[in-house]
Structure 1
Amino acid sequence: MLENEGKRLVVKMHPKDNVLVALTDLAKDENVVFENETYVLQDEIKAKHKFYTTDLKKGDEVIMYGVLVGKVQNDIAKGSLMTTSNLKHAAEPYGYRDVDFAWQAPDVSKYKDRTFKGYKRNDGRVGTANYWLFIPTVFCENRNLDVIKEALHNELGYSVSDKYTQYTHQLLEAYQNGEDIDSVDMQLAPTTSTNRVFKNVDGIKFLNHQGGCGGTRQDSATLSSLLASYANHPNVGGITLLSLGCQHLQVQDFMNDLRKQNPSFDKPLLVFEQQQSDSEEQLIADAIKKTFEGLIEINKQERTPAPLSELCIGVKCGGSDGFSGVSANPAVGYTADLLVALGGKVLLAEFPELCGVEQNLIDRCVTEESAKKFIDLMQSYDALAHKVGSGFHMNPSPGNIKDGLITDAIKSAGAAKKGGTAPVVDVLDYTEIVSKPGLNLVCTPGNDVEATTGKAASGATLILFTTGLGTPTGNPVCPVIKVATNSVLAKKMSDIIDIDCGPVISGEKTIEEMGEDILEYCIKAASGEIIPKAVLLNQDDFIPWKRGVSL
């Protein structure tokens, strides 16, 4: 509920809340009028931060987004700034209870005949891109992948480093000519892909990683399942697999996981094992040649119309700020509700960032089995964190706190908004593949790259990534769309931001209007009509989770 008397100053996220969020910088002693009540500010309140709307005694509960987010550590006067010293994390206990959850789906009649242009795979799934994927079974092959990547990207038009190479060359020339290198200006031209040889191949991607051997066998088994899910991904048209030969993660282990996930897997799959090759040079040459032949074949595939129900969108937030739960996350949540109503799939992950909203999600689970699976995954994950002296309550980063996310429960309650309000149809453990239309929960860390890596593994074909501080995160096989919580960030980091939700803060657009705008962008991105900045910049981040403590 936003105040509309003159310039909007504050927002209240839920009728039960006893805090208000500042939408602009507010001065100490300033009188703020909201819903016919006047608040005299006891402190300077920066935009994105909160102040208390009532006098509080030590131990009193603080409510935001309608849920418990913390308890005050000392007596607090009405109008005081919320800080890490006067508020500590607290969350309600949770458990399964048989409730009747009713959902009012949004009206999607205007989208019922809409389509996107995607790549239809033989298993019936539809990709939003057509990538060739290089996979090493072990970190020993990373260097070979780097050599191959440089050769293929530079010659086939997928490199984004040309402007930096030219800039370095200009610096070198200036230095060799005895000139001042400060006189050399970097030409910040946008990255393009107009020089691609294979027009229907959206990229050649490489899954460099640090696993496959040397850790536990369980780590290698998890990695095998993860790599198989990427090979099986609907955005992947073909795969080149490089193996050393003696590592824990054997080629046959990978093949077994791949067939387990998709018994009818029929994409081009090229396998090269270095210890069976005549030389490293021969290995690389053979891999390049056979991959080139594979690229010729998958370049014959073309985009065709598909219903919006074939979209699978992951929702993620990173570099969050005090506006994340006010603008971008609720707007993405409305997009998620629209897609669910259309029969599509939505993936909400980051289990450490669901701390404090567990009961709401449990009550929305359509089956007791899913609810109890969620509870078990959350409790075992949190217990593991506590075992090493941490916990979900230690999730907010210094950047989060600086920009208004004081406790984990505040961060989590705002983060959960990006999943919308639909029923939870399934709960997936790490690397499990989504199969049910609707809202699915996926167990991953909150860590940006580990979470996006896990979402893509579960089948996301687009990821909506909200950020208030600016995060240059992408994914090798799933286009990542960056959604800014505020216009200052959108303008400052326009090279990585795709969508600006600042109009929600200023009152120019409603959450619903912004959510529809985001869906329109997704349709164009899924059709290849718009290329998200993360894709243009080759932000191909990939970090497998070893199932240890990562918040």
Structure 2
Amino acid sequence: MSQKILKIHPDDNVLVALTDLPAGDTVAYQDLTITLVEDVPAKHKFTQQEMLPEQEIIMYGSLVGKAVTVIPAGGRISIENVKHQASTFTGKTKTTGWRAPDVSKWANKTFQGYHRADGQVGTANYWLVIPLVFCENRNVNIIKQAFLEELGFGRQDIYKSYVQQMVELYQAGNTAAIAQLPLQNHASNGHKRIFENIDGIKFLTHEGGCGGIRQDSEALCALLAGYIHNPNVAGATVLSLGCQNAQASILEEKLRALDPNFTKPLIMLEQQQEGTEHELLAKAIKQTFLALVEADKQERQPAPLSKLVVGLECGGSDGFSGISANPAVGHASDLVVALGGKSMLSEFPELCGVEQELINRCVDEKTADRFVQLMRAYAYAAEAVGSGFDMNPSPGNIKDGLITDAIKSAGAAKKGGTSPVADVLDYGEYATKPGLTLLCTPGNDVESTTAMAGSGANIILFTTGLGTPTGNPVTPVIKVSSNTKLAQRMPDIIDIDTGPVIAGEKNIEEMGAEMLDLIIEVASGKVQPKAVQLGQDDFIPWKRGISL
């Protein structure tokens, strides 16, 4: 690596180590020569001059913390010597201009998608089986067991076969051979796919629907309606017990609000009306099979790139995420927006300290005010239960250089690129406006990706620096690594490596363009992301009790 350090923004007073730097090493930046007073691991930051207590730490050109002790020049900043501090924000103070990137390369390109009656276009074609309440989880799982293998959607359980081999060796008296037994990774479907135009049947079990506050049941119904309305979904089978808070009528109301002319096939069955469990399951399986026959008649057709709705997510972030992966995703987002598509930035606790920039990027005062209101309400709710956005960084984040929420947020916000903010949505609301949308979700990876799919994302870009095996049941998740070491260590989960940015081999624009090309291939069904291949169907609805 030719470059050992990086200054992200001209106003910064800390530098980033791009490789491990030992104590006593001398580094130069412009007219400064700095001798490191301690080891600075790659991804961590060190001061370029002495910092006194209460002196502001500036990174990405933003306030990200304050010193709590004297930090000598060349000293590593850490949770021991720096505390979280973020800039305050008000309403819209100025209008930020935007120079859209050149998208002539993609102007005439299309993807092969599933056209829905409401004008949306799916990048996949799934059938959903959903319980309205946790009481129906068992019945949903019985339907899952009945369908998946027989319809060719099942996956060979290589670990079950592994245990069977161990049992055979044990029964043969050859226990010693077990220690040397390799795992044979020959995953394949046991049966041929019956429905070639259906990408799978997804079973979304959850722990909600009753027993909590009514607002949680309302939010759950809104989320499930968003999943059914998502263009990647052909139709759904919904199981209701009958007496729960999350009533079928609420789900139907949420669906009509999304599309008054809703025409997707929807099978709604209530156990307390159907009689025996046997009768309920027999009817559900039969009606679902016949609906699958019809859904299989849909075929991929060319669609303009303006029909892309790209969710922007990060999880297991490291000190390189805000330098390589997130800005590259941000450029891909700008390309999608410039082509007339939609992108969606979520995780509000990870926008702490960059609010004013996003407010000024809002297209009008009304949009800006909505963002201010949602951010403040979320922050107040967190503080009311003895928490706060400053507690967001995980132990893994901190270990790899993200020591305050403001540092993490300044890098995380880079996923949103530079385009104007066209809309701001609360959890459970659906994206309808072209351009960048801010969606209120927790910073929890799965709660956030779950929400973005429920708000209409038909592709998700997910950056990670530490390695996060997260996917989504209905929306393909493309995993982006911030560094090459991760991509080499966990190749089974990483789809694209932005480590070449850190190495100085590629720039942000080149990586963003590669991402858009991959998005088109995935959206057309030509490439399956690793999360889809591994069957990572993570689904966690957010209960509005605070989750950070």
Q: TM-score, normalised on structure 2? A: 0.98
Distance 1:23 1:438 in 2: 33
Is contact 2:155–2:187 with CA below 8 Å preserved after alignment?
no
Distance 1:232 1:313 in 2: 16
1:106-505 correspondence runs (5 A): 106-180=101-175, 181-189=178-186, 195-505=192-502
Note the C-alpha offset of 1:160: 2.6
Distance 1:50 1:114 in 2: 42
Note the C-alpha offset of 1:277: 2.2
Deviations 1:100-125, CA, capped at 9 Å, x for gaps: 31101111111100110000000000
Note the C-alpha offset of 1:293: 1.2
Q: What percentage of aligned pairs have identical amino acids?
A: 59
Aligned pairs, number = 546
The 3 A distance-change label for structure 1 pair 427 and 20 is same
Deviations 1:159-208, CA, capped at 9 Å, x for gaps: 23432232232222222222223243211235679932211101100110
Distance 1:466 1:192 in 2: 29
Per mean C-alpha deviation after superposition, the further-off stretch among 464-473 and 170-179 is 170-179
1:74 aligns with 2:69: yes
Q: Which runs of 5+ in 1 are unaligned?
A: 1-5
Note the C-alpha offset of 1:43: 0.8
Distance 2:53 2:357 in 1: 27
Distance 2:404 2:534 in 1: 33
Deviations 1:216-275, CA, capped at 9 Å, x for gaps: 111111111111111111100010011111111111121111112111111111122111
The amino acid of 1:537's aligned partner reads: L
Deviations 1:68-120, CA, capped at 9 Å, x for gaps: 00000111111100110111010111011341311011111111001100000
The amino acid of 1:371's aligned partner reads: A
Distance 2:85 2:191 in 1: 53
1:33 aligns with 2:3: no
1:95 aligns with 2:87: no
The amino acid of 2:110's aligned partner reads: T
Deviations 1:384-430, CA, capped at 9 Å, x for gaps: 11111110011000000000001000000000001100010110011
Distance 1:517 1:195 in 2: 33
Give 3-state SS (helix, strand or coil) of 2:479's partner: strand
Give 3-state SS (helix, strand or coil) of 2:149's partner: helix
Is contact 1:160–1:537 with CA below 8 Å preserved after alignment?
no
Distance 2:120 2:200 in 1: 19
The amino acid of 1:384's aligned partner reads: A
The 3 A distance-change label for structure 1 pair 446 and 193 is farther
Give 3-state SS (helix, strand or coil) of 1:154's partner: coil
Deviations 1:23-45, CA, capped at 9 Å, x for gaps: 11011000112234221111101
Question: Which position in structure 2 is the counterpart of 1:532?
Answer: 529
Give 3-state SS (helix, strand or coil) of 1:301's partner: coil
Deviations 1:451-503, CA, capped at 9 Å, x for gaps: 00111111100000000011111111111111011111111111111111111
Q: CA RMSD in A?
A: 1.3
The amino acid of 1:40's aligned partner reads: T
Distance 1:17 1:321 in 2: 19
1:12-31 correspondence runs (5 A): 12-31=7-26
Is contact 2:151–2:191 with CA below 8 Å preserved after alignment?
no
Distance 2:380 2:394 in 1: 20
Q: Which runs of 5+ in 2 are unaligned?
A: none
Question: Which position in structure 2 is the counterpart of 1:3?
Answer: none
Is contact 1:243–1:251 with CA below 8 Å preserved after alignment?
yes
Question: Which position in structure 2 is the counterpart of 1:55?
Answer: 50
Question: Which position in structure 2 is the counterpart of 1:513?
Answer: 510
The amino acid of 2:130's aligned partner reads: I
Find the partner of 1:522 among 516, 519, 522. 519
Distance 2:325 2:250 in 1: 41
Give 3-state SS (helix, strand or coil) of 2:278's partner: helix
Is contact 2:50–2:71 with CA below 8 Å preserved after alignment?
yes
Distance 2:64 2:233 in 1: 41
Give 3-state SS (helix, strand or coil) of 1:276's partner: helix
Per mean C-alpha deviation after superposition, the further-off stretch among 211-220 and 189-198 is 189-198
Per mean C-alpha deviation after superposition, the further-off stretch among 91-100 and 306-315 is 91-100
> Where in structure 1 do 4 or more consecutive aligned residues deviate above 6 Å?
none
Distance 2:250 2:452 in 1: 22
Distance 2:198 2:92 in 1: 49
Give 3-state SS (helix, strand or coil) of 2:491's partner: coil
Distance 1:449 1:442 in 2: 14
Distance 2:92 2:491 in 1: 46
Deviations 1:98-156, CA, capped at 9 Å, x for gaps: 41311011111111001100000000000000000011010001011112112211212
Distance 2:397 2:191 in 1: 39
Distance 2:163 2:276 in 1: 33
The 3 A distance-change label for structure 1 pair 193 and 261 is farther
The 3 A distance-change label for structure 1 pair 15 and 301 is same
Q: TM-score, normalised on structure 1? A: 0.97
Distance 1:447 1:51 in 2: 28
Per mean C-alpha deviation after superposition, the further-off stretch among 153-162 and 56-65 is 153-162
